[in-house]
Amino acid sequence: MMKKKEINIGIVGARFMGRAHSNAWYDVKQYYDLPFTPVMKAACDIDPASGTAFAERWGWQGFEDSWETLVARPDLDLIDICTPNKQHMPIAVAAARAGKHVICEKPLAMDAGEAGQMYRAVRDAGVKHMVAFNYRRVPALVLARQMIKEGKLGRIHHFQAVYYQDWLVDPEFPWVWRHDVTLAGSGAHGDMNAHTVDLARFLVGEIGSVAGDEHVFVQERNRPDGRGKGEVTADDATSFMVRFENGAMGSYTATRFATGRKNYLRLEIFGSKGSLVFNLERLNELEFFSREDQGSLQGFRNIMVTEQSHPYLSKWWPPGHIIGWEHTFIHEMGDFLTAIAGDEDIQPSFYDGWRCQQVLDAVSRSARARTWIDIPPAPITSDK
């Protein structure tokens, strides 16, 4: 058998997202027909002890304790960034300048200025780039987009998004990097609203203006190393209203204080002809209401998005044999590798990450100014 060409991958960040991405890099070749073999060449983390153990466990061939060394390695073709947000920009820009393809976790950057810099770097280098907004690759949400494009909802009137977690409602939960605005850029907002802003752009269109509100409920928390208290400078919760460029209205809440909710992302989209409801905790399902259904049987129907004809499902199991959260990352890596192989652009790109960041920034500014803010027109354009 002829040996396939290889694509050598390096990953930075060896904890939560490092695990989710490693799982996907490990599995992707089994479910996608790729013209080359992805090779898990090297992992990197500033914590050498847990980073080395991570590399061994997940099958990375080598380990580096400095991202500068990793990115400079001539044997790597692709860099996967799974670090806290503050490191995204320097790693991505260096990787692009070194001629590597780049996939980066969300939010793309600390702010829109950095995100624009990153987009320009990958565009100028001519490398492929992707932001890891993995919910764009939930089959039910791809189906939702198809239905909206086909006109099944008619004109969209409302896009309602909530993203609830509750891990901070415990005041004893320790201080982590996500509480520091200088390390994270923002809190619940950049972490969770980033996903739902991206999904709105995926499903409904561009956001034109925003009016936001943000709050920190617990001002300081114990440092895990026992060195006193750490100040919480990143929002615990951010809500905002939006007006889309196409006239649709929207509302958002992201909070880490939704007692009892663990990772509850719910979208409700209401149009002139029908409606869709999605709940991440039941990600194989999509609720659909059509005004074309007549009479006493009219009502929301629950579509089980597990048929072979549904997006991505032909790669998986027979109907009804559900998939999970980790599969969205396999779709992400598989689609990215396919785009690299075919020399095609892929969405969500760094352009999409930068546009999302513009909305996030405007919401934060609006919350501080307590007023509506228009999203600035794009100073740089998409590759498309």
Ligand X SMILES: NC(=O)c1ccc[n+]([C@@H]2O[C@H](COP(=O)([O-])OP(=O)(O)OC[C@H]3O[C@@H](n4cnc5c(N)ncnc54)[C@H](O)[C@@H]3O)[C@@H](O)[C@H]2O)c1
Q: Which residues are near ligand X by CB under 6 A?
A: 12-18, 44-47, 67, 82-85, 87, 105-106, 132, 134, 191
Q: Which of 177, 217 has the CB closer to ligand X?
A: 177
Nearer of residues 26 and 289 to ligand X, judged by Cβ: 26
Q: How far is the CB of 244 from ligand X (least distance, A)?
A: 24
**For residue 195, which of 102, 105, 69 has the smallest C-alpha distance?**
105
User: What element of type H or E holds 184?
Assistant: helix 181-184
Beta-carbon contacts of residue 246 (< 8 Å; ≥ 6 apart):
156, 204, 205
| Minimum separation from the CB atom of position 222 to ligand X (A) | 17
Cα of first residue to Cα of last residue in the chain, in angstroms, is 39
Q: How far is the CB of 272 from ligand X (least distance, A)?
A: 32
- Least separation in angstroms between residue 85's CB and ligand X is 5
With respect to ligand X, which residue has the nearer C-beta, 67 or 270? 67
Distance CA 39, CA 153 (A): 43
Closest distance between ligand X and the C-beta of residue 68, in Å? 9
Which pair of tokens denotes residue 334? 């598989």
Q: Which residue is nearest to ligand X (CB)?
A: 15
Q: Are 131 and 348 contacting, i.e. CB atoms less than 8 angstroms apart?
A: yes
- Closest contact distance (angstroms) between CB of 64 and ligand X is 9
Measured from the CB atom, the residue of 325 and 372 that comes closer to ligand X is 325
Q: Which is nearer to ligand X, 63 or 67 (CB)?
A: 67
Nearer Cβ to ligand X (9/14): 14
Report residue 212 as tokens.
Answer: 């936001």
Q: Is residue 18 a contact partner of residue 105, using CB atoms and an 8 Å limit?
A: no
Structure tokens at 378: 């794009």
Smallest distance, Å, CB 333 to ligand X?
Answer: 12
What CA–CA distance (Å, rounded) separates 23 from 13?
Answer: 14
Residue 341 φ/ψ, nearest 5 degrees: -60, -40
Number of residues that this document lists for the chain = 384
- Of 22 and 83, nearer to ligand X (C-beta) is 83
DSSP helix/strand/coil, 137 = helix
Burial of 284-321, coded b for 16+ CB within 10 Å and e otherwise, reads bbbbbbbeeeeeeeeeeeebebbeeebbbbebbeeeee
